[in-house]
A and B are shown apart, each in its own frame.
Chain A
Amino acid sequence: MVKLLNKLFQVAGCGLLCVAVFFPGLAQAEPTAEAVAPAPARQKELINLVRQDCGSCHGLRLEGGLGLPLTPQALREKSPDALKETILYGRAGTPMPPWKPFLTDAESGWIVQMLLKGLP
């Protein structure tokens, strides 16, 4: 049911943000990670965040810098869930900061998916 509604909204070109805005409860009930893609406007913001702000440590092309490379080849063998956690909670004892104040669980999962696919 939830899935169906979500589908409908996406078909309507409205994306999940509308769902979240109109039915916050529904968005909460959505399973995390895969299915949930942020609304298009938010996707753009997140891509910019990853390229620019993550890029300041990981490189604009995410090929590594002070931080490790975040290219699909570099991440392929790693657990997506663990990567999602790293993004949300950072890695103590290293410069990798926690992004939880700025990202939801689902957004972090979506970023991992994008990193694994290769950023557009």
Chain B
Amino acid sequence: MRRYSIFTVFIGLLALQGCATPPLRGTGDLGVVIERAAGSIQVVETTHRTRLGQIAGLGDLSHASVNYSRDERYAYVFGRDGALTKVDLLKMRIEKRVMQSGNSIGGAISQDGRLIAVANYTPGGIKVFDSETLEQVADIPAIDHTGKPSKVVGLVDAPGNRFVFSLYDAGEIWVAELRDPAKPALHKFTNIGKEPYDGMITADGRYYVAGLFGEDGLALLDLWHLDAGVKRVLNGYGKGEQKLPVYKMPHLEGWAATGNELLVPAVGRNEVLVIDQNNWMEAGRIPVHGQPVFVVARPDNRQVWVNFAFPNNDTVQVIDVPSRAVVKTLKPGKAVLHMEFTPRGENVWVSVRDDDRVEVYDSETFAKIGELPADKPSGIFFTPRAHRTGL
């Protein structure tokens, strides 16, 4: 009798366990789709191309971006309203959430995975948080060399537990070294050019490049040689021609570094610029359908996919890198906002905001192989970003 009851309790416990724990799974094929207007995110899975769940209550997610913890379990979501939310992809719930400023624009996770930095517009600067607890560990206001506050853009992580970012209003680039978060060491570079609007870092974490809105050109910083300072490259690529009005700022996070070449969106021109990474000179231009917003390389660097600013945002073009030719033009639908490759690049996921869906394409045949409903989707972020510098 007694034996029987222990057995029952045991079985009962097992059953309870079974309820509380979802089946074991890895996270390497997971991702997040931002539903910008609803303030929710979808957790998706790229192996069977399905949606695993939806998490609501994340606030204003326009221009939201995501970083991942080094174990690829937690997503850190940076909202426009200044919120930083830590989401558990396995338990499918919000783990922690802090309102850290009035208005923010993106974030980065440190090399060692312990620090989360957030770039803010108001008040301009970066704030740094412990990635486990989301407790603030550093606050670096962006006060320029004349004492004026500035919006911060183009924040990326760099080797050496450093963060690099640009001051939009001031035209400065700062490198913050946070080996000891209590005492951030700052290197400031002034007069780097007018209105840096975003920045990127090459995959090896060596070169930081800021795109300039106020003039034609890019600002380049070699992180191996900080004393060499910031260099201007591609000066005057617009050749003094009047640039077209810009209805959406290009994003540099997706700048494509394809080995020896860097493909970047031209500001106010219907072109993708090719930069030779050996001498940082212009190596060519590729005419495209509109003003590029994201220029994203497939992981094998053979192709680059491009989407465009309003009013050409119904189109995606594929550039074949060796021939620098547009080899495919797709019309996914109204307002294509983002593209994200699966870890090895066989598929690309495309968000189509005004048609409320995400489409999945085979990157070799360009055939559409799947579709998922989503509420005004914008950014798509897959977990392998956890292991890439600058993403």
Residues on A facing B (Cβ under 8 Å): 48, 51-53, 55-57, 59-61, 63-66, 90, 95, 97-98, 101-102
Question: Which one, A48, A57, A60, A98, contacts B245 given CB within 8 A?
Answer: A98
Q: Is the CB of A66 within 8 A of B247?
A: no
| Residues of A contacting B195 in the complex (Cβ-Cβ under 8 angstroms) | 95
Contact with A along B236-257 (1 / 0, CB 8 A): 0000000001111100000000
Contact A59 B245, CB 8 Å, known A65-B103, A66-B197:
no
Is there contact, CB below 8 Å, between B60 and A61? Answer: yes
* Contact in complex: A56, B335 (CB < 8 Å): no
In the assembled complex, B375 has its CB within 8 A of some CB on chain A: no
Q: Within the complex, which residue of A56, A101, A102 is in contact with B62, where a contact is CB–CB below 8 Å?
A: A56
Q: List 10 A-B contacts (CB under 8 A).
A: A52-B376, A55-B62, A59-B80, A60-B62, A63-B60, A64-B103, A90-B245, A95-B195, A101-B311, A102-B311
- Known contacts: A52-B335, A53-B248, A95-B249. The answer to whether A60 contacts B36 by CB under 8 A is yes
Q: Which residue of A lies closest to B313 (CB)?
A: A53
In the complex, residue of chain A having the shortest beta-carbon distance to the beta carbon of B59: A61
Chain B: CB-nearest residue to A56: B248
Set of chain A residues within 8 Å of B63, measured between Cβ atoms? 56, 65
| Contact B62 A59, beta carbon cutoff 8 Å | yes
CB neighbours of B197 from chain A (8 A) = 66, 95
Q: When the two chains form their complex, are residues A61 and B81 in contact, meaning their CB atoms are under 8 A apart?
A: yes
Q: Report Cα–Cα, A56/B376, bound state, in Å.
A: 13
Pairwise interchain contact B151-A66, C-beta atoms closer than 8 A: yes
Are B60 and A59 closer than 8 Å at their CB atoms? yes
- Bitwise interface map of B from 100 to 126 toward A, beta carbon under 8 Å scored 1, else 0: 001101000000000000000110000
Contact between chains at A52 and B105 (CB < 8 Å): no
> Roughly how many angstroms separate A53 CA and B247 CA in the complex, as a whole number?
8
Closest 9 CB pairs of A and B: A60-B62, A97-B245, A53-B310, A55-B62, A60-B60, A56-B248, A61-B60, A97-B247, A98-B245
